[in-house]
Structures are given as C-alpha cells and as structure tokens.
C-alpha cells in the first residue's frame, strides 16, 4: 500500500511514517516546516518528503492519505482530498488499526515528561529482553530512532492529549486502548483547543474508560487533577506513585543517585541519567509500569542506570570557549522552571543563561504569560525571542527586567547572548520547535567573537 502522510515532520506523524515503512508500505509525505531530527530520520529511511501542501499532491496515486492534526480546513491539499472523495484517515486511527490492534499497549500520558518516561519505559522493556515496539515524541539515544514496530506483543507509546485531526476532536490517546497507562501529571495546556483544565480532565477520564478490568493505571498521587479524574470512575487496577503508601523515590547516596520503592520495600538505587526531581518521578512511573509486564523493579532500576537520555532533553549541542550550549524542549512554565532547577542542582556553580522561544499555541495566546517570570526566576540571565508574539513579553518579564532581554530579531538575540556569555556559563535554549537553528548560530558566534 502507498501511504501519503500530511504533516509528516511532526514528531508523532514522523513516527507513524517510520512504522508504516517498517510494516512494508510505501511511504511519502509532505509538510510546511522541515527540520531535524525528524527530517533526517525520515530521509535516512528512504521516505520522500515534499515541501508544502500543493493540491496537485492529491494526484500522487496513493492508496490512503494519513492526515496529521496540524492540518486544518482550508489547507489546499486537504480541501482537494475532500473534494475528490479520496480515502483518508487520521494518524492515531491508522496507528490503532494497523499497529496497536491485539497488542499489549503501555501508554504514557501527562502534561509533562511524556517523552522522557516513554523512552525510559521502552528501554526498561528492551533491556529485559522484551523487544517492544514503541513510538516516542523524540529520539531516545539508546535506540537512535523515534519509533519501531517491535518483535513482541508489547508496544510503548507516548499518549498525547492533543486532538486527533481536523475531523476528530477527541484526544489522540483515546484511540490506543492501553492495558497499562501512566498518568504522569495534569495541568492546563493547549489553550487553543481546551477551554479549561476540566475539559482536559474529561479527556483523561475518557482514556480510563477504554481500559480493561485487568489493565493497570499508574497515577501521580501529588496531582489533585488526577485524583479528580480517578474519582469520576476507575474500572482497572490502580497504583499511585509519588505516594508514601505506594510507589515513591528519593535521593540516594550521592547527588546524582536515586532510590526507588513501594510502600516499605526499597528495590534499589542507581545513578540518575537525567537530573531533577521531575525526572526521578518519571523514572518511578516507568519502573511501576514495567512491573506490570513482568520486569522486576530491581532489573528496571539497573536498566535505568544504562539509559542514555533523549535528544532535546538537556542535550549538550556544543561547548565553545568554556560556554556550553544546551537544547531542551521545555515550553510550559512548569517544565521551564523544573528544567532550570534540575540544571542548577546538577551543577550549582556557573551561570545559567536561559533562552526561550514561546512557540507553543498556548504560549502564543498568552495564556501562561502571568507565570513566565516566575518560571525563569532561577536563571541568571534571560533572553526571550518575541517574534510573532502578540502580547507584551517585556511586560510579562517585568519582575525580572534587570536580568532579561527581549528581541524580535534572531540575529540580534544571538549577538546579545554571545556578548553576555563567559567561560563557565551554560546557555539553556528552550523551544518546542527548531528555533531558527539558534543552537548552531550561537556556537558559531561564540567561536568567532574576539
């Protein structure tokens, strides 16, 4: 079958493309914005990419169009597909029918930490010899690619609460029908499609409604929102984490060590591959979920010690003149604050220069602007890229105005950061997009300054 994917360079749809290719289909695709690592991953698999959504692609001769949720009504190619009555489906629908049907699905949901927790869980199963399939919204270093079919019934998936497609406004994760589900956390996000937190809680409860009685939910007890979700009805086994009576963890013998246990039993400790208490909680949830498919907690903890991280999660992109440039996906205020806190605890000495692109739909709408200054408060210097932002970023950062700078020109932003940086500094770049290739531009600017 020839499948043509609209929005193929998104992290989810790129993973769908990889799985379709591995299943033996001919895969092509198109997107308006093509940037690594997804574009290079797809091209390496021999998947042809077309720039843009020209209506002429409707005549490409494929058997099925798979349409990503970034594609909306008015898109010229989508309109042509609808006008001609050509066969189409959404990414989650195709995935559910062609890949997940009949498999033991382990789904990881939550506002934050989905990619990290999914990657950790997939690696724990892999290390235990279970050879799972997986789909992650990033590139785990232990695997090198964001998705694979796998050789066993187990499939680990990052379960996003964002909507499915232009024609299906349910959350993606309701299609997956997991037997094991992690509910990491739940805050208000995606202000472009959800009116309030209660609306997202309803979608999470829809997910619980799809699970069998023999399934297991691993939920964060610290999150009042998740306790509300569970209280609306739970028909599966339930285990809480971040809970003294359930799964809990703490700092181990050294600063980068953590121990993990359930109730009064401690299963072991290891070096944490990623810093921060949020990553300790991510690991704890993954250990609990792995146990549901038969991986002993002690073995999962040992595997965690061999976990190599994920692209764009505090990823070191380079070091020039003693200045480190790091890349992170953080874009929600909670994630921004936790990422800066983790970097500070990992290396207390040296300054942190936080560089933020408020690129997500929620950020662009200004829904989170009142929380922005607090989330960046622990950084020594703050640089914000305001191009395309309708609200006043400088006003939002007024509480930290003495150490923040706002620019709407990327060249000026790079110049300002390069002029400020000194040996021992860490430049933490945070965005959920390509940020105009700022990482390499910063490294080049640092290399050429006098």
Instruction: Give the start-to-end residue ranges of the domains of the chain.
Output: 2-90, 102-304, 315-448
Is residue 91 within 8 A of residue 162, CB to CB? The reply is: no
| Backbone phi and psi for residue 159, each to the nearest 5 degrees, phi listed first | -105, 100
Q: Which pair of structure tokens corresponds to residue 340?
A: 């800066």
CB within 8 A of 359, min separation 6: which ones? 331, 431, 432, 433, 435
Evaluate if pTM is beyond 0.85: no
Helices assigned H by DSSP within 45-196: 76-84, 91-95, 114-127
Closest CA to 27 of 46, 52, 55, 7: 46
pLDDT tens, per residue, the chain with 450 residues: 999 999 998 889 999 999 999 999 999 999 997 766 677 878 888 999 999 999 999 999 999 999 999 999 999 999 999 999 999 999 999 999 999 999 999 999 998 889 999 999 999 999 999 999 999 988 898 998 889 999 899 999 999 988 999 999 999 999 999 999 999 989 877 767 788 899 999 999 999 999 999 999 999 999 999 999 999 999 999 999 999 899 999 988 876 889 999 999 999 999 988 878 888 999 999 999 999 999 999 999 999 999 987 877 778 899 998 999 999 877 788 888 888 988 888 788 889 999 998 877 767 777 778 888 888 998 999 999 988 888 888 888 888 889 989 899 999 999 999 989 999 999 999 888 778 889 999 999 899 975
381, with CB counted inside 10 A (0-12, 13-18, 19+), is: buried
Strand runs (DSSP E) across 252-390, as ranges? 257-262, 265-271, 315-320, 323-328, 352-356, 381-385
In angstroms, rounded to a whole number, what is the distance separating the alpha carbons of residues 261 and 377?
Answer: 33
* Whole-number pLDDT of residue 426: 93
Residue 445, both tokens: 């600017």
pLDDT, residue 112, reads: 85
371: left (phi over 0), alpha (psi -120 to 50) or beta: alpha
Bridge-based pairing of strands 48-51 and 26-31 is parallel
Task: Give the CATH fold of the 2-90 domain.
Answer: Rossmann fold (3.40.50)
Contact by Cβ (8 Å): 173, 160: yes
| CATH assignment, 102-304 | 3.40.1190.10
CB 122, CB 160: distance < 8 Å: no
The dihedral through the CA atoms of 171, 174, 176, 179 has a sign that is positive
Q: Please provide the CATH number assigned to the domain covering 315-448.
A: 3.90.190.20
- Compute the distance between CA of residue 118 and CA of residue 107 in angstroms, rounded to an integer: 8
Pair 232, 205: CB distance under 8 Å: yes
């Amino acid at each position: 079958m020839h499948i043509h994917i609209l929005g193929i360079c998104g992290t989810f749809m790129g993973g769908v493309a990889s799985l379709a290719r591995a299943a033996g289909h001919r895969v092509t695709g198109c997107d308006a914005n093509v940037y690594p690592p997804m574009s290079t991953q797809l091209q390496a698999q021999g998947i042809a990419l077309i720039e843009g959504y020209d209506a002429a692609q409707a005549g490409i001769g494929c058997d099925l169009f798979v349409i990503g949720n970034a594609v909306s009504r008015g898109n010229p190619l989508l309109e042509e597909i609808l006008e001609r009555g050509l066969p189409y489906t959404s990414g989650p629908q195709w995935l559910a029918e062609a890949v997940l049907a009949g498999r033991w699905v382990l789904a990881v949901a939550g506002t934050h930490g989905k990619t990290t927790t999914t990657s950790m869980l997939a690696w724990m199963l892999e290390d235990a010899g279970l050879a799972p399939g997986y789909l992650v919204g990033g590139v785990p270093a232990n695997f090198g690619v964001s998705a694979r079919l796998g050789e066993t019934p187990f499939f680990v998936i990052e379960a996003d609460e964002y909507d499915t497609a232009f024609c299906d406004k349910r959350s993606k994760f309701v299609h997956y029908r997991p037997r094991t589900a992690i509910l990491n956390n739940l805050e208000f996000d995606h202000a472009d499609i959800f009116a309030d937190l209660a609306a997202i809680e309803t979608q999470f409860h829809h997910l619980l409604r799809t699970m069998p009685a023999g399934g297991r939910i691993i939920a964060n007890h610290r999150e009042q929102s998740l306790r509300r979700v569970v209280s609306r009805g739970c028909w599966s086994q339930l285990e809480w984490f971040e809970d003294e009576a359930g799964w809990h963890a703490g700092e181990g013998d050294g600063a980068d060590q953590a121990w993990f246990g359930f109730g009064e039993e401690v299963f072991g400790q290891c070096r944490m591959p990623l810093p921060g208490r949020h990553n300790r909680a991510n690991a704890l949830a993954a250990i609990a979920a792995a146990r549901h498919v038969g991986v002993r907690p002690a073995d999962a903890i040992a595997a965690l010690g061999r976990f190599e991280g994920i692209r764009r999660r505090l990823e070191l992109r380079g070091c020039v003149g003693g200045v480190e440039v790091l890349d992170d996906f953080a874009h929600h205020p909670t994630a921004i604050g936790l990422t800066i806190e983790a970097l500070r605890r990992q290396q207390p000495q040296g300054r942190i220069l936080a560089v933020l692109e408020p690129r997500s739909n929620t950020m662009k709408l200004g829904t989170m602007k009142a929380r922005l200054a607090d989330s960046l408060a622990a950084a020594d210097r703050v640089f914000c890229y305001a191009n395309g932002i309708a609200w006043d970023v400088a006003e939002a950062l007024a509480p930290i105005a003495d150490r923040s700078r706002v620019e709407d020109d990327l060249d000026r932003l790079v110049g300002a950061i390069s002029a400020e940086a000194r040996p021992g500094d860490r430049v933490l770049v945070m965005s959920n997009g390509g940020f105009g290739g700022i990482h390499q531009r910063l490294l080049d600017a640092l290399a050429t300054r006098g």
